[in-house]
Amino acid sequence: MSLPREERLKVLGLWPGWRPRSTRSLARGVEPEPREAETIIGCAEGATPAGDIANLDWPALEQAIRACTRCELHRGRTQGVVGVGDIHADWLIIGEAPGADEDRMGEPFVGQAGKLLDAMLAAIGLKRGENVYIANVLKSRPPRNRDPKPEEVAACLPYLERQIDLIRPRLIVAMGRFAAQSLLLTDTAIGRLRGQVHEYRGVPLLITYHPAYLLRNPADKAKAWEDLLLARATMGRLQSAAPAAP
């Protein structure tokens, strides 16, 4: 079970202004004042606050992501990359962050890793754009494809959370260590996270290897295939438990 967002950010030490209630404030009966999320490092003045993101409709959310200035990554990217596909999809695929190709094209997974992702989807009868939505944890490209920083994840997660709340997918598949660990707030190795059904924002969540990792480590494709079979079986169960309205 994943923790609520506020709790996860507190664990990460990123909930703005949060600290354990001190004995002094307890004695005065005063709660520490939560500061606004805009205190995140690199957040530009006027950036959309997390509380506002949680209320955006889809067109406004897309616009906010494209123009986002909530962390320092906005300075080096070409555009915020929203995601691609069916916004009423049963399947939500979540990757790490846009790379150079995605930054240029404005669409997730369009490079070599994207080709492999499309092949993985095809292997279980899925096609980009048809009952599948593809998004990333980070909407802006980290420079030189470096690992995302915790404050960048904290700044960006409200967008993904809103996407999930609006799409209401039946199943989420997180691709790779970074997406899995960011959603589950854990440093457990991906090898131990895959093979079981987790949950994120009330939606069943499965973990598999990132296509870019599989391109470098083709021997693990067999394990990714097992994960895809588990995903297909899990979706079958979810669909039979609650068939779509006619």
Nearer to ligand URA, 90 or 102 (CB): 102
The backbone torsions φ and ψ at residue 205, rounded to the nearest 5 degrees and listed phi first, read -130, 125
CB of 114 to ligand URA, least distance (A): 6
Site string for ligand URA, 209-228 (x = CB under 6 A): ---x----------------
148 is a site residue for ligand URA (CB under 6 A): no
Nearer to ligand URA, 147 or 165 (CB): 147
The residue from 72, 90, 102, 103 that contacts ligand URA (CB under 6 A) is 102
How far is it, in rounded angstroms, from Cα 62 to Cα 216?
Answer: 33
The residue from 109, 159, 200, 209 that contacts ligand URA (CB under 6 A) is 109
Residue 57 CA: distances (Å) to CA of 44, 53, 71, 81, 87: 22, 9, 22, 17, 12
Nearer to ligand URA, 102 or 227 (CB): 102
Task: List CB contacts of 82: < 8 A, sequence separation 6 or more.
Answer: 61, 62, 65, 66, 106, 135, 139
The residue from 69, 70, 91, 96 that contacts ligand URA (CB under 6 A) is 96
How far is it, in rounded angstroms, from Cα 114 to Cα 243?
Answer: 30
How far is it, in rounded angstroms, from Cα 92 to Cα 87?
Answer: 9
Q: Which residues bind ligand URA (CB under 6 A)?
A: 95-99, 102, 108-109, 113, 136, 212
